[in-house]
Structures are given as structure tokens and as C-alpha cells.
Structure 1
């Protein structure tokens, strides 16, 4: 690693353990730890771990190295939800928590297609480097020597061949010759989460990187104040399923739309990661859906005020179907664009629920079939639910105040009221004609 010495004794010890785990005997130790850790968990798994750990220490393996191997076994199992090749990667607890998933990183890496030398600033354990590295030279920069070394190794696991690692504060790094920068500023300091909107280095410093490199992408919290984003930058909101994970800010050189909503899909187990193809970069597909990156992500693009300037979204009575837009869509201000694609309308101009009389498949909203509707009244609603013999209850609320958990207890005070094999019901609390309204819905399989 270039750029600085490792002065922290604890970091030197962890680096030494990492070196030891990469030897043939260390690989065998990792294999034993993974086998002992198992996949089922519970008391039997714990007993197995204790027995194997005790045997290894009795055989002369240093206790610290045994502990490091078992930590990696645990983290690799947890990381399998994020990375296809997790069983070959190295992690710390904090590094895994903060790392981008493989699907998010691969989707993002497509923006850098055609750029030969990319810098990954605040690289952490290399979640993004693993997608950025194949097919180009990559510069990794981080102040944590353990994370930096793990980022090198993890990028190599995913096919990166030309990797330079620099142990440094990102503000001190020479970016001459770099033609793309990705930066994931820290939102934690040690175990402490920084205040709302705060990060290190600060966002203004990240935006100013364009004074040196035109192509810049910045990862940010999904709750970012959009007033902080400079003019001409694109804001992409990324959800893993329906879980809104992050915002990514793209400089004008990389931007293709003011706003974007992206829904990630998990990579296929057993797939071999490869360099991200560039053929889809910057190209719109049919109906405003952009197939960027690999098949693990779909994007809805458009201007947040496009429907206001072209054709306002209709407002009307509930149809046969209800669409609950993905949080990435609502955060990106693209509910109107989604309504246009679905030929749907809103129940209220200020509420994101969409409705229509025809069911259409979309990755950008949950589809529900409206079974009944009524003015919101807890007692009447509870009686209706009991009469239906439901097996599960979900509550969605938009446009109305109230505690969802308290409402659930009033609608379903006893678990024995649930009927095995009965319908799973979603109660939608919203506003219609300026009145509190309830819709009783069931999940609907998209057509086709």
C-alpha cells in the first residue's frame, strides 16, 4: 500500500491476521471455521464452533487467529445477501454494514463505461471497487489500512487486475490521470453516526471534485436535502426491493436525467461476475425504463415536473386496482411518470397511491386488488376484517396521521382471530375527497 505507514498497533495486528489467513494453512483454517459455523445456527451450531475452536487452539493455532477465522466465517455468511462471491471475500463488521451491495455497485459502475482509470475514494472494503475494477485501472483510497487491504483483495476476487491502493486522506490524493471518480463519504465516525446530512468529507468537497475530474459520482443518504445538490447533477434514488437504500449523485458529465428511481434485483446465485457491459449506458428503453448495467436493476427516469408541464395526472375515485409506488419512485418525484406508464390516476393530488381499472405489471409499484372501500371507521373496519377470516394483515398509510401499530391492535386485537388459509389483506389508509378513507385490498399477481 502506498501513501502512508500503519501506526496503529491494533491495525497492524489485524493486517498480520489477514496475511496469515491468506496462506495455505490460513485457508484451511477458514474452511474449518466455515464448516463449523454451518448454516443452521442455533445451539448445535454454537456447540460445534466452541468444540472446533477449542481443538484448533489445542493444536497450537493462536487464539487471535482462530477468532479472526470464525469472524470471517460469520461475516461471509451474512455478506452472501450482498455479494455472490462472499465466501471468497474479506470483511469487517463496520465495513460490511457500510458497503454497497453487488447489485448496486454493478448498476452504478455502468456509468463509468469507457473510462480507463477510475478512483474509488473512501473505498471501505471494496464493495464498489469490485464492480469498478474489472477492465480498467482502479485507484483505491482510504484511511483505514485494514479496509484498504481488504478492498484490494476483494477487487481481485471480482476480476480486477490493475489495482493501486493509497493509504491516505482522500483530500490529499493526486488525481492526475484519473478520468472518473466515485466517492462514498463516511456518515459515521467510529461507532458514532454523524448528524443528519453530515458526512466526511463534506458534500461540498465532493461536488468540487469536478474542478479536477469531470466524471464524478457521490453516494449519499436517501434522505439528502436536494437543495444541497448543484444544478446539472442527477439524483438517483436506489431501493433494494422496497427498501430505500441510498441516493447517488452524478456530475453533469455522467448525468442523463435530473431524477432517477432504481429498483435492484438480487444477483443470481452461482453467477460469475464480469466487467459491466457498456452498451446500455445512457440509453433509454421503452416507456422511460432504462435497462442500465446488468439485469440486477431497473430504472424509471424523467423530470420531476414532466407531468405538470405535459399532462397532469388525473385524480378520481378508486378503480379495481391500487398501485403502491416503490419508495425510490416517490422520493425521486416520479409518481406522475409512473402514472403515465400505467394509465393510472391518483386518489388525491398530494398522495402517491395510484389506481386503475386494468392491472399492469411494473417493477416500480406493489399491485393490489381493491376488494372493498369505505369511510375510515375503526369499528366497522374491524368487523369487516373479522368477517373475512383473514390470515394476515398489512397496513399502508399515506395522507393520514396515526400510529400504525396502535391501529393494528384495534383492528386485530387477538392473534387467534387470524384464520389459517384465509386471505392476506392489506388495509390502505388514505384520503379521498378530503375525507379519511379505507380500502381493503389483497395482493394481485401482475399479468404476464
Structure 2
């Protein structure tokens, strides 16, 4: 990152902060002829700062920090998820083997007396080193690959954290352990010898049960982390013991990284719980994205005394209101055949927020068939019911 060594860095930072609301592309067109300032790099910093305002609000407020290229900004943890990770572990010593932009290192370091940051890309290493100095945190930085660093690491530590890179050599997205860098399966024996606990951040699309099996059942718990209504990451907690039945914990975070809703279960409990399947009642329950990922539907129904609409329709119903349900709750006003004529009699304004669950027609095609547009305050679920009929459920959302 040339900006770090640029003798005009103070002037550059001042320019960035004066223009941080500008459109980066327009900025290049307007100031591109300014030979005194690296406008392309400045435009990249402004674009990153604009993204950081939501994703990393505390760091955004620090006017002296520099941000990485777009891919690293995309892949780095949000402030909320990084804070949550820091709440799970603590001790004397931590190694972040895949330091990247350094967000996880920065927040995790608050839980440890000593934190070592390891990153193989020199550009990211330099940015992190510079930013740690601006943030006045005691993190020791190493510009090495995870494998080389581990070979030379002789002292045992409390925790090792990894967020393996999920892009292949062609920059295509990958998510299986063996396709990411470093390869967690290959490194696992070394990791377990050198750390009491290993925490790994993985992609949301990873199959949890298969991933635990590939790690030789050393996973004690998996945390499914949801922020701003989207599953952002899976966290695997790993040690040298064997776990046939790891904890599965679902958490929904606010912007401060605090848990405002959670649910937990495990494979055995899920298999033991039975589930009722019946026609829609007064209320409809839509599990949060993290709960959908967990697959803990039997446990969910058992905990909240809910009924499922169909074995393969992951919506629930009841006649009593379960206000602490981890997801969205609706009041069902009408159950209809999936026909335009039937819907037009009860739908106000021709607008609805349409969702499909276990339904043979895609959303866009169904909107066209029903003659409706997006919007309004009503919610329309197209789904399969317990008797295998297809139906529309017209609902009002109940605010939590």
C-alpha cells in the first residue's frame, strides 16, 4: 500500500475525509489530473470508507485508518460479528493465523494478554500494522504463511483463530475445507497440538454435519451467526476431545454485537423430538435465516409448542402467540387457492410481499400469474400445506 509510505499521507487523509461522501468514480474524473495526489488510491479509500460506515462503524470514525482493496473489505468480519467472536473466548495468548485486514485480530485481542497476527499478503500485513499503531493496540504482526508460522511456533497457546480464504486461484468462490487456504483438514493435527482451543470462521453455505465429520469429530460447538437478517458466518469451536453430538447455537446480533435472540440444540435432540403437521392456525412463524440454516425444526416446534404446515414446508403455526420466537411472526388473515381471482377479492392495492416455501412456482413467475406488485404492508406466503394442497396465506406482520 503506497499510501502508508507516502510523505503526503496527512494531506491525503485530510482529502479523503473532506470527500468521503463523494462518488468515487466522479472524484477520479474531477481530480484525475491532480499529479500531487494519488487519486485512484484515494477513490478506493473513499469507496472502502463508505462501506465501513455500516460494517465497521467504530473504525470508520477513526480518520487516520487506511482500508484494504474491495475483496478484503468484502471478506472481513463486520464489527458486530467480530465483537461476538471476542465474547466467546479469552485467555493469555491468541494467534490469528489468517489476519487479513485485521478486524478479528483487533477485537479478539481485547480478550487476550498477547495476540499475534499472521498474514501472508504483504499489502494486507502493512495495512494492519499501520492501523494497529493508529488504534494503539499491542498486537505483534508477522508477514508469513500460516504453515510457515506454525512450523516455527514452539510455545503452546490458549487459542488459534483461522478464517481460511474462500477464493481459488481463479478467484472463484469456494467453501469446502479442502478448497480453502490454508487447508484446515491438513493443518488440524498441528493446530490441536499447539492450542487448547481452535476457532474457525467458515462460509454460511458449508454443510455443518459433514464439516464436523471431516474434522474427526473434534468440534464441540458450531455457532450460526446472523446479522442484519443474513447468516454471515459459521464458527466452529475445536479441541482435542471427541464430540459425537456438538452443540448447534443460533444467534441473532444487533449492530453492537449483542445477542438479541438465540436458540440451541443438537442432532440427537432434534432426532428425538417429534413434530405435529396440521393446517394453518391463527399465527404463522417464519424462522430466521440462521435457524433455517441450523435445521433444528423439530426442536424449534417442541420449544415453542408450534405446528408445522408440511414436512417440507419450513413454516410453523399456532393459535397462541409465542412472542419470543426467533424469527418473524405473522397473523394469518386469509387462506386462499393460488389463483388471481381469489386473491384480488381480499388483497388491498394489488401489492404484497410475496414469499414461496415448498411451492412449485418461482416468485417472479407467481407475481406475474397473480397480477401483484412488490410492496405494501401485507405478506403473502405461497406454500404446500399438510394435505399436499398448494395455498396462499395472506398475512399481517406482527412487530416484535
TM-score by length of 1: 0.77
> Which of 237, 242, 262 pairs up with 1:299?
262
* SS in structure 1 of the partner of residue 154 of structure 2: coil
Name 2:229's counterpart in structure 1: 242
| Shift in Å, 1:350 | 3.5
Given candidates 77, 86, 109, the residue that maps to 2:60 is 86
Matched with 2:338 is 377
**Aligned partners of 1:105, 1:297: CA distance in 2, in Å?**
16
Instruction: Choose 187-196 or 317-326, whichever is displaced more.
Output: 187-196
Q: Is the 8 A contact 1:324 1:366 kept in 2?
A: yes
Distance in structure 2 (CA, Å) of the matches to 1:81 and 1:190? 30
The equivalent of 1:411 in structure 2 is: 370
Trace 1:46-61 onto structure 2 (pairs within 5 A). 50-52=29-31, 54=33, 56-57=34-35, 61=36
Pairing 1:397-436 to 2, within 5 Å after superposition: 397-412=356-371, 423-436=377-390
Residue 81 and residue 212 in structure 1: after superposition, are their counterparts in 2 closer, same or farther (change >3 A)? Answer: same
**Alpha-carbon displacement from aligned partner over 1:97-117 (angstroms, at most 9, x marks no partner):** 11011111111122222x111
Change (3 A) 1:169 1:405: same
1:205 aligns with 2:205: no
Q: Deviations over 1:292-317 (max 9, x none)?
A: xx5256432121341442x4233222
Structure 2 Cα separation of the partners of residues 127 and 351 of structure 1: 38
Q: State whether structure 2 residue 317 is matched by structure 1 residue 355.
A: yes
Distance 1:48 1:377, change over 3 A: closer
- 1:41-80 correspondence to structure 2 within 5 Å: 41=23, 50-52=29-31, 54=33, 56-57=34-35, 61-62=36-37, 65-80=38-53
**Take 1:336 and 1:121, find their aligned partners in 2: how far apart are those partners?**
38
Q: Indicate the SS of the match to 2:85.
A: helix
In structure 2, the CA distance between the partners of 1:423 and 1:187, relative to structure 1 (3 Å rule), is closer
Aligned to 2:144: 168
Q: Deviations over 1:185-243 (max 9, x none)?
A: 11113661254522112231243321322300111112213313232412222222321
Distance verdict in 2 for CA 1:380–1:176, change over 3 Å: farther
Structure 2 stretches lacking a partner, 5+ long? none
Give the match for residue 296 of structure 2. Answer: 334
Matches within 5 A, 1:13-24: 14=1, 16-20=2-6
State the partner residue of 1:224: 206
Distance 1:205 1:298, change over 3 A: farther
CA, structure 1 residues 196+118, in 2 after alignment: closer, same or farther (shift >3 Å)?
A: closer
Secondary structure of 2:314's aligned partner: coil
Deviation at 1:132, TM superposition (A): 1.0
Q: Which residue of 1 aligns with 2:73?
A: 96
- C-alpha distance in structure 1 between counterparts of 2:301 and 2:165, whole Å: 36
Q: Which has the higher strand share?
A: 2
Q: Which residue does 1:126 correspond to in 2?
A: 102
For the aligned residue pairs, the C-alpha RMSD in angstroms reads 2.8
- Where in structure 1 are there 5+ consecutive unaligned residues? 1-13, 268-293
Specify whether residues 154 and 140 from structure 1 end up closer, same or farther in structure 2 by C-alpha distance, changes over 3 A only: same
Does the CA contact (< 8 Å) of 2:338 and 2:382 recur in 1? Answer: no
* Secondary structure of 1:315 counterpart: coil
Aligned length: 382
Highest RCO, 1 vs 2 (Cα 8 Å, sep ≥ 6)? 1
Cross-structure match for 1:396? 355
| 390 and 250 in structure 1: CA distance in 2 versus 1, 3 angstrom threshold | farther
Q: Quick check: 1:187 aligned with 2:163?
A: no
2:118 is aligned with 1:141: yes
The offset of 1:148, in angstroms, is 1.4
- Distance in structure 2 (CA, Å) of the matches to 1:430 and 1:154: 53
C-alpha contact (below 8 Å) 1:392/1:425 kept by paired residues? no
| Aligned residue number for residue 85 of structure 2 | 108
